[in-house]
Structure 1
């Protein structure tokens, strides 16, 4: 019985917002500064302020506080608190919000989505600039990764634009 319970727990842990081969850019946070605005808010300033508050906070499936958060909560919280925009709480509903964006046309604040296994588990992050995005890694918590990392490049699914920016 313990083996079954452990196996179920392990399955949930592996499939929810899973990440492998994390990449931490060597760029200073100031490199992500853009002039993108939404409702008179500088989007990059808002994203980076939120990142500084949550950097390193660990992953927890369904988590919503400093003891641990999941990928969709990070996105939900950034949009709600920093950008004053209500979006859905779950990765699935976030993935059908807004409008589709081609990878080559990504702007600061766009949501980037990944399919992380054959069962269709989804992961979401927020595009910063220079090919990097912030997200919650199961191994490193809230962090910045590169879309050009082989893992993320192989699992990239789509992007959505939620904000009508300048």
Structure 2
């Protein structure tokens, strides 16, 4: 997969029409339909932007390829200074659970796709958008309310 040039890569069906300004926070705010002042952790968006388009590699944890749980570990560590387990199922057990309506920037979203246990994780941003590692598109921003993701969505929570 070709690395992006600062463009937000998404598979979300309802994306605000935005024009890249070159300012990461402004770009993400426009993309998600929120005010720039609503974005509380600049490092979070800089990290997502830096890794955007990095391909999926099961078990990977580098720019050559990364999986969803390693991406969550890296973002939680570098953006929030918090340590979480390596696997998405263990991460799901390590968070303080909350209701979907309580989601805030930096919370973790957990999914179950074709398995009996949690097997995917993403980082909540704003307006149902979340960053994660797609098996087909690598690091992208998606919409929780899109049918594919919402069908697999099982729980969410805040890293303690």
Normalised to the residue count of structure 1, the TM-score between the two structures is: 0.75
SS of the residue corresponding to residue 95 of structure 1 reads: helix
Q: Which moved more, 1:52-61 or 1:110-119?
A: 110-119
SS of the residue corresponding to residue 79 of structure 1 reads: helix
Q: Kindly state the Cα deviation for residue 46 of structure 1 after the two structures are TM-superposed.
A: 1.9
SS of the residue corresponding to residue 125 of structure 2 reads: strand
Q: Kindly state the Cα deviation for residue 121 of structure 1 after the two structures are TM-superposed.
A: 5.1
Counterparts of 1:150 and 1:60, CA distance in 2: 24
Match of 2:150? Answer: 153
Q: Kindly state the Cα deviation for residue 120 of structure 1 after the two structures are TM-superposed.
A: 3.2
Match of 1:88? Answer: 85
1:106-137: CA deviations, max 9, x gaps? 00010001111144351000000111100000
Match of 2:3? Answer: none
Gap change, CA 1:118 and 1:65, over 3 Å in 2: closer
Normalised to the residue count of structure 2, the TM-score between the two structures is: 0.78
Which of 111, 114, 117 matches 2:114?
Answer: 117
SS of the residue corresponding to residue 80 of structure 1 reads: helix
Q: Which moved more, 1:92-101 or 1:132-141?
A: 92-101
Number of aligned positions between the proteins: 137
Task: Point out where structure 1 has 5 or more consecutive residues left out of the alignment.
Answer: 1-21, 37-41
1:48-82: CA deviations, max 9, x gaps? 11111100000000101111000001110011122
1:79-103: CA deviations, max 9, x gaps? 1122111111111111011211101
Provide runs of 4+ in structure 1 moved above 4 Å.
32-36
Match of 1:143? Answer: 140
Q: Considering only aligned residues, what root-mean-square deviation do their CA atoms show, in Å?
A: 2.1
Which structure has more relative contact order (CA 8 Å, sep 6+)? It is 1
Conservation of the 8 A alpha-carbon contact between 1:34 and 1:108: no
Match of 2:28? Answer: 29
Task: Point out where structure 2 has 5 or more consecutive residues left out of the alignment.
Answer: 1-10, 19-26
